[in-house]
Amino acid sequence: MPITDLLERNSKLYGDEVALVEINPEIKEEQRVTWKEYELIQPTSTSYYRRQITWSVFDEKANRVANMLIERGIKKGQKCAILLMNCLEWLPIYFGILKSGAIAVPLNFRFTAEEIDYCLKASDSDVLFYGPEFIGRIEDIAEKIKKDTLIFYVGDQCPSYADDYYRQVSNSSSVAPRVLIEDKDEAAIYFSSGTTGFPKAILHIHTALMQSAKMEAMHHETTHEDNFLCIPPLYHTGAKMHWFGSLYTGSRAVLLKGNSPEAIFRAVSEEECTIVWLLVPWAQDILAALDSGKLNIKDYHLSQWRLMHIGAQPIPPSLIRRWLEYFPNHKYDTNYGLSESTGPGCVHLGMENVRKVGAIGVPGYGWKTKIVDEDGNIVKQGEIGELCVKGPGVMVEYYKNPEATAEILKDGWLFTGDMARQDEEGFIFLVDRKKDVIISGGENLYPVQIESFLAKNDKIHDAAVIGLQDARLGEIAAAIIQVKEGMTMTEEEVERFCVDLPRYKRPRKIIFANVIRNATGKIDKPKLREIYCGEKIVEKQNQS
């Protein structure tokens, strides 16, 4: 069945039950609103400490979005982009797009104006939903995109170049549109990227989304009584597909707009959350707060919290050991995946295999794996090769990019670009990545992008960016800078120059040295990692 059927089923079976809660810790606690008030006053996502909607209202909101799009001429197969921070509007808009027969295109909220423009064009998006946090970036490109793009502003004080989302959607029918949606219909485009920096558009069908929903529920034994705390951004396949477990079981989920240890514990306690997905830095912060006494477990109601799982970057085994000292009754899991495999779960550790922390695990529900050499032959057990996965969650293609698709998809197998080995029990360990992508705090950094920016400096002769291991972020970007002969440069100068980069892309370590290149003129990244990481092969994980 298409993923939209799950929402309609939940509306019928659990209509009066709460589906989604949004909590904004920065807002005063007394500013709360129920789903009934939400219907009447249409608050923006920054107005209240707590908002909630039921499954019936969720479905009704999605129907209104679908009908609004249809009324504005959007037809089946057209693309609609979403540029929103996590909020109560996000998922009804996503499902409204799907119900109209259109294709949802979530955008990374860290994209620059240039990247937003690029992604809208690359995905052939005809519609853009965006929130108040992005006014400046959209204003920079509004003149270019408004000719071909229908723009909906999801917030107060709508700009002149956009349509008021709240006004438009409230005037649309709440009855489900009569659009035939089938399993093989195209459903979503998610963006990923290689080392070239500009994202690739990854096309998925409804079957892939349904696979991820069922798999998530099975992997984590999710039931209708569970309550999932979702903190990472919904544009990311990781957050979305983990929430799909809640959709599959008709269970509640909480969208937390913040990741401080206190905010997480308070949300788990007040909302009685049972499942929490964390990134390594957030888990590290929680442990540090517990160690220092700033956070006291006894001050919160946490006994119902049964599962903590982590993904999106390397997981230090010592972190999990420390976590289980504080929470001995917690189950733990980690999931490996790519946006090309509909996010996390094609390989997963399994809650019963905490003794194998350090591995990414075994094939997930419905998935097959193999590890191959450069010629595509399966390597012997224990030998290193490229990890390949195959299953119903594999992407259709890189949208309108057959050359890139052919490089990664071969006979139904997705070649991940990750080097791995398998132990005698069948557990897979990642060893290194073919790609140069640096995963820092769960976000992908693209070295070529940063290198190109540094090359603009008149004092820099050459620059290379590599990832260095970091206890909290997994990896940090280190820039090896070769200064032009006869010139001098300081770290402070580099830092000032990099102010024009988004903060998360700025190098966290500056190394002044010669940039090593191989005989073909390419930067010798393996050699640089050998020098500055201190070892030729670094055992890593790549979870989502």
- Per-residue pLDDT tens over the stretch 359-371: 899 999 999 999 9
- Residue 424: CB atoms within 10 A of its CB come to 7
pLDDT at 442: 79
The domain boundary residue, chosen from 213, 236, 258: 258
pLDDT at 197: 53
Q: Which two tokens stand for residue 74?
A: 């959007």
Between residues 481 and 39, the one the model is more confident about: 481
Q: What CATH number has the domain bearing residue 400?
A: 2.30.38.10
What are the tens digits of pLDDT across the range 47-74? Answer: 688 999 999 999 999 999 999 999 999 9
| DSSP tally for the chain: helices H, then strands E | 16, 27
Structural contact between residues 530 and 536, judged by C-beta atoms closer than 8 angstroms: yes
Band of residue 37 on the pLDDT scale cut at 50, 70, 90: low
Between residues 116 and 45, the one the model is more confident about: 116
The domain boundary residue, chosen from 377, 399, 433: 433
- How far apart (Å, rounded) are the C-alpha atoms in residues 222 and 273? 12
Choose among 239, 326, 229, 281: nearest CA to 21.
229
* Of the listed ranges 120-124, 222-226, 395-399, 415-419, the one predicted with least confidence: 415-419
Q: What is the mean pLDDT of residues 170-189?
A: 96
Q: What angle do CA 144, 147, 148 make, to 5 degrees?
A: 100
What are the tens digits of pLDDT across the range 516-531? Answer: 876 445 678 878 888 9
pLDDT at 444: 75
- One domain, residues 138 and 182: yes
Band of residue 537 on the pLDDT scale cut at 50, 70, 90: very low
- How far apart (Å, rounded) are the C-alpha atoms in residues 157 and 224? 39
Residues 6+ apart with CB under 8 A from 352: none
Four-point Cα dihedral 531, 477, 490, 196, nearest 10:
100
- One domain, residues 44 and 128: yes
- One domain, residues 381 and 526: no
Q: Is residue 111 part of a domain?
A: yes
Band of residue 43 on the pLDDT scale cut at 50, 70, 90: low
- One domain, residues 59 and 134: yes
Residue 272, Ramachandran bin (φ over 0: left; ψ between -120 and 50: alpha; else beta): left
The domain boundary residue, chosen from 209, 233, 258: 258
Q: Is residue 420 part of a domain?
A: yes
Angle between the N-to-C axes of helices 55-71 and 90-99, in degrees from 0 to 180, rounded to the nearest 10: 50
Structural contact between residues 466 and 532, judged by C-beta atoms closer than 8 angstroms: yes
- One domain, residues 168 and 238: yes
Q: What CATH number has the domain bearing residue 467?
A: 3.30.300.30
Q: Looking at this protein, which amino acid is placed at residue 216?
A: E
Q: Which two tokens stand for residue 103?
A: 């294709």
Q: What is the mean pLDDT of residues 395-411?
A: 96
Q: Which two tokens stand for residue 127?
A: 């519609």
What are the tens digits of pLDDT across the range 462-474? Answer: 889 999 989 888 8
Structural contact between residues 165 and 144, judged by C-beta atoms closer than 8 angstroms: no
pLDDT at 536: 42
pLDDT at 541: 33
- One domain, residues 193 and 153: yes
Q: What is the mean pLDDT of residues 266-294?
A: 92
- One domain, residues 166 and 233: yes
Band of residue 496 on the pLDDT scale cut at 50, 70, 90: very high
Q: Which two tokens stand for residue 376?
A: 């595509």
Is the pLDDT at 14 greater than 50, yes or no? Answer: yes
- For residue 358, the cross-strand partners are none
pLDDT at 238: 84
φ and ψ at residue 509, rounded to 5 degrees: -140, 135
pLDDT at 36: 54
Q: What is the mean pLDDT of residues 405-422?
A: 93
Q: What is the mean pLDDT of residues 97-125?
A: 95
pLDDT at 481: 94
pLDDT at 315: 73
- One domain, residues 243 and 170: yes
Q: What CATH number has the domain bearing residue 164?
A: 3.40.50.12780
- How far apart (Å, rounded) are the C-alpha atoms in residues 235 and 208? 16
Number of domains in the chain: 3
Q: Is residue 272 part of a domain?
A: no
- How far apart (Å, rounded) are the C-alpha atoms in residues 380 and 378? 7
Angle between the N-to-C axes of helices 317-326 and 280-292, in degrees from 0 to 180, rounded to the nearest 10: 50
- One domain, residues 405 and 489: no
What are the tens digits of pLDDT across the range 223-259? Answer: 999 999 999 999 988 888 999 999 999 999 999 998 9
- How far apart (Å, rounded) are the C-alpha atoms in residues 159 and 353? 52
Q: Is residue 98 part of a domain?
A: yes
Q: Is residue 227 part of a domain?
A: yes
Q: Is residue 125 part of a domain?
A: yes
Residue 409, domain extent: 359-433
Between residues 419 and 204, the one the model is more confident about: 204
* Of the listed ranges 9-18, 125-134, 313-322, the one predicted with least confidence: 313-322
- One domain, residues 425 and 456: no
Q: Is residue 498 part of a domain?
A: yes
pLDDT at 279: 84
Is the pLDDT at 30 greater than 80, yes or no? Answer: no
- One domain, residues 31 and 151: yes
CA 333 to chain centre: 17
Band of residue 299 on the pLDDT scale cut at 50, 70, 90: very high
Residues of the chain above pLDDT 90, percent? 68
Q: Is residue 412 part of a domain?
A: yes
Q: Which two tokens stand for residue 339?
A: 């946006």
Residues 6+ apart with CB under 8 A from 7: 55, 58, 59, 62, 95, 247
- One domain, residues 402 and 485: no
Mode of pairing for the β-strands spanning 443-445 and 163-164 = unpaired
* Of the listed ranges 24-33, 115-124, 413-422, the one predicted with least confidence: 24-33
Is the pLDDT at 280 greater than 50, yes or no? Answer: yes
What are the tens digits of pLDDT across the range 427-467? Answer: 998 875 666 778 888 777 878 778 878 988 989 888 899 99
pLDDT at 526: 77
Residues of the chain above pLDDT 70, percent? 91
By the 10 Å C-beta count (0-12 exposed, 13-18 middle, 19+ buried), 486 is classed as exposed
Structural contact between residues 225 and 232, judged by C-beta atoms closer than 8 angstroms: no
pLDDT at 55: 98
Is the pLDDT at 46 greater than 90, yes or no? Answer: no
Query: CA distances (Å), 96 to each of 168, 241, 360, in order?
Result: 13, 17, 35
